[in-house]
A and B are shown apart, each in its own frame.
Chain A
Amino acid sequence: MSAELCDLTGAELSVRLAAGETSASAVLASSQARIDAVEDTVGAFLTRTDQLASERAAELDAYLSTGAPQSPVAGIPVALKDVFTTNGVRTTCGSKILETYVPPYDATAWARLAGAGAVLVGKTNCDEFAMGSSNENSAYGPVHNPWDPDRVPGGSSGGSAAAVASGEAVWALGTDTGGSVRQPASLCGVVGLKPTYGRISRYGLIAFASSLDTVGTFTRTVRDAASMLGVLAGHDPRDATSLDVPVPDYTDGLDRGVAGLRVGVVTEAFGEGVEPGVGASVRAAIDRLESLGASIGEVELPHAAYALSAYYLIAPSECSSNLARYDGVRYGYRAPGEHADSIEMMFATRGQGFGPEVKRRVMLGTYALSAGYYEAYYGQAQKVRTLVIQDYETAFERFDILVSPTSPTTAFRIGEKADDPMAMYLNDIFTIPANLAGVPAISIPSGLDDAGLPVGVQLTAPALDEPTLFRAAHALESALSLDLRPPLLQGAG
């Protein structure tokens, strides 16, 4: 059957819009129809913005009809993980404590998309405050993987990944702190990009772990990821950690191919704990790279084994401080009833408003930072971080790109790991090092395993070398030439 508008890539839609072959309103209608058809199964959205989207699409159509310059994102339906503030539109972070919160300002990343003509279809479900790898930690219920609704989409940006995989949005924003864009992209069969830390402004990205949080994208193709990054990237005076370096045209040179590119296979990433189906699919992708002219070698990231431990000290420590502001005083949930005093009110508000995973991490972080423990935990973890950065620097002296599976497994069943935090944390074992080092990484589908579930291969590049990253990923994607369509959509309109 011919592809619906909502299933096309952003690049394809952009061409049709420019040619006047379709309209923003028609594209939006297609996405909204898809949402209506599958949302009961997938549960990707917390808030739909139909009214705003229709108005915006109409404005866009008027604008586009004048033949004025058109951004790659103009007129194209986008979803935002519900951790991005949207002025006047409820933003919950998947938490009860922000159930009624309406931000008075727009996140910079969203503002840039909006300013370029993107059409917002809705805010997507996610693990509460971006803490999780399965989207089972949302206060509003889990998201279901479009490839198998009994399985998780991954997390924490599960809703955004599922929305793109199911055609509910053409592309989406997520956030990646320890793998929360790449891992769900891998589990849902879409492209997930985590750019260099600081490449995209964090202003309006509701903070989980400040030195790790990175705005990321979900798209159907590498080209779309490159287009989106071009609109999102750049210095923001409101974010003191945003990089003040020029933004190149990331779609330029996408087709250069990988002849002569030095690709390092991360040896630790194929050990025990990696499902055979995942290992096989990723190895096949690596072989493909070789056949395209890349030279393949092996590389070690000796301190990657400690990266998980370091992450589970740094992230909770920073989050315990970032989440202190949720106290029922100025916005959000306040525990009902009489309270002896304000502090008692805060205790009750936070006790009732935070879910179990958030409590776990806030408590862990509070403990790690508390008197007497700073040096042993947070201080030491930041040293491991230095060592991980050095591992990458050493690796990138010999290689241009590193490759590994994105996730050790494919999508697991909802409820399967929910009671075992440590088992859950292991989902991020291949993605975390890139967050510690701040280097860019992308997950693209490498195929399906025998159970028909998507597998993702992760490519990593040096800081600010997104061009090489895109070039390698695009070459591999073209060569693999996968046409992934979840069974859910067979027969769906």
Chain B
Amino acid sequence: MPVEIDIEHVAKLARIDLSDDEIARLRTQLAQILEHAALVGEVAAADVVPTASPIPRANVYRDDVPEPSLPVDEALRNAPERDGDRFRVPRIAETGA
């Protein structure tokens, strides 16, 4: 049974503008892929512990010793738009996120 995906909602979460064509195509393609992917649900694995990482480690830390930061011009070198020593962007609306 094909999955019904609210493509517009997902695109909003992912912050990607999609054309109508893209929306239609993605709706079909994602449903197909998900049908396949959902096979993972078939595996009777109720008591199986999920693996977060293939070669697990624990307690990896860094010493609290400062290293030089980037010179400010390096930090801004790739800025699409610059305002003095800051990055400039269009106005930030109140809703955010």
Contact = CB atoms under 8 A, between A and B. Distances in A.
Contact of B78 (A102, A237, A339): A102
Interface stretch (A76-84, A142-150, A219-227, A347-355): A347-355
A104 B40 contact: no
B43 interface: yes
Nearest to A323: B14
Given A380-B41, A382-B52, A364 B15 contact: no
A65 B80 CA distance: 45
A232 to B, nearest CB: 17
A199 to B, nearest CB: 9
Contact of A421 (B33, B70, B91, B93): B33
A389 B29 CA distance: 29
A360 B10 CA distance: 11
Interface in A317-366: 320, 324, 327-334, 338-348, 350-352, 354, 356, 359-360, 362-364, 366
A241 B22 contact: no
Contacts of B79: 330-331
B55 interface: yes
A370 B14 CA distance: 10
Contacts of B96: 343
A387 B92 CA distance: 46
B93 A342 contact: yes
Given A306-B42, A342-B89, A422-B32, A359 B80 contact: no
B10 A363 contact: yes
A390 B18 CA distance: 41
A360 B26 contact: yes
Contacts of B1: none
B38 A377 contact: yes
A438 interface: yes
Interface of B: 5, 7, 10-11, 13-18, 22, 26, 29-30, 32-34, 36-43, 45, 48-55, 57, 60, 62, 70, 74-75, 77-81, 87, 89-93, 95-96
Given A104-B77, A362-B16, A366-B10, A436 B50 contact: no
Interface of A: 100-102, 104, 196-198, 211, 237, 240-241, 243-244, 303, 305-306, 308-310, 312-313, 320, 324, 327-334, 338-348, 350-352, 354, 356, 359-360, 362-364, 366-368, 370, 376-377, 379-387, 389, 421-422, 425, 435-439, 463
Contact of B53 (A102, A211, A350): A211
A123 B72 CA distance: 27
Nearest to B39: A309
28 contacts: A104-B77, A198-B55, A211-B52, A244-B57, A303-B43, A309-B39, A330-B79, A332-B80, A334-B80, A338-B90, A341-B93, A350-B14, A350-B15, A354-B16, A363-B10, A363-B16, A367-B30, A368-B37, A383-B40, A383-B50, A383-B51, A389-B51, A389-B54, A421-B29, A422-B36, A436-B54, A438-B53, A438-B54
Nearest to A103: B78
A385 to B, nearest CB: 4
A368 B26 CA distance: 14
Nearest to A464: B55
A345 to B, nearest CB: 5
Contacts of B38: 309, 376-377
B60 A197 contact: no
Contact of A348 (B11, B17, B62): B17
Given A363-B26, A366-B10, A367-B10, A381 B80 contact: no
A309 B30 contact: no
A312 B45 contact: no
B33 A364 contact: yes
Nearest to B62: A237
B51 A386 contact: yes
Contacts of B81: 334
A197 B54 contact: yes
